[in-house]
Amino acid sequence: MDLPDWARGVSRIAVLTGAGISTDSGIPDYRGANGVWTKNPELLGLFNRKAFLAEADVRRRFWAALSVLEGRDAEPNAAHLALARLESTGLSLRVLTQNVDGLHQRAGSTQRKVLELHGSMATTTCTRCAARTPTEEVLHRGEDDPACASCGGILQPSIVLFGQFLDQDLLGKAANIARVAQLFVAIGSSLLVEPAAGLCRVAVEAGATLVIINRDPTPYDDLATEVIREPIGVAVPALCAALTALNPGTN
């Protein structure tokens, strides 16, 4: 990848990742040609917070579908690993992810430097008493509509469903990271889901260079200095290697 001047002199990088970065790990995206919502629009209704809380049948179908969607057996791919290596060079790198699969951390990215904007599938939270349990333990119980072992409340994986607000403190931290970044890279995101997608505009308005790596057009392409359509598994490692080479002395 031949990189222009915007890749030089960069020390503060923020990366926003969406479902597209995990497709090479075998986890389907949501809105692509073979996406979860595209192939089975009915599943979209299962991720509605109001319906999830109100209807036991929705919860039963949600938990039945979860084993397919959560990607428990997935492994980090070349893009996750490249970002972790880039962080290890000493560059200030923060990952703001819309994904709930935990693959950035498993690839070696520092836990505290990964902000999971839409939550994590690793744990399940009681909607009544807020007790948290590893999702693996909940699934092993084999119940079609599991309830909290402590209070009997409805259990929900610790992810943000449609109709549910993001953690405002976490979103505020993400916005601050976007504001101080010199380079903001959006990877594998349709950039259709707000407010996470809006971090692109926050970064640009604060003076950052925006680069988008995505197969399909996004609403933020016009704000980007560069849009890269190459496969993510190729483009991200190439970008990370070039940033490391162009910004020596960080190791």
- State the catalytic residues: 118
8 Å CB contact between 249 and 243: no
8 Å CB contact between 36 and 69: yes
198 burial type by CB count under 10 A (0-12 exposed, 13-18 middle, 19+ buried): middle
8 Å CB contact between 203 and 179: yes
8 Å CB contact between 99 and 22: yes
- How many alpha carbons lie under 13 Å from residue 198 in its C-beta half-sphere? 6
8 Å CB contact between 163 and 49: yes
The pair of structure tokens assigned to 28 is 């389907």
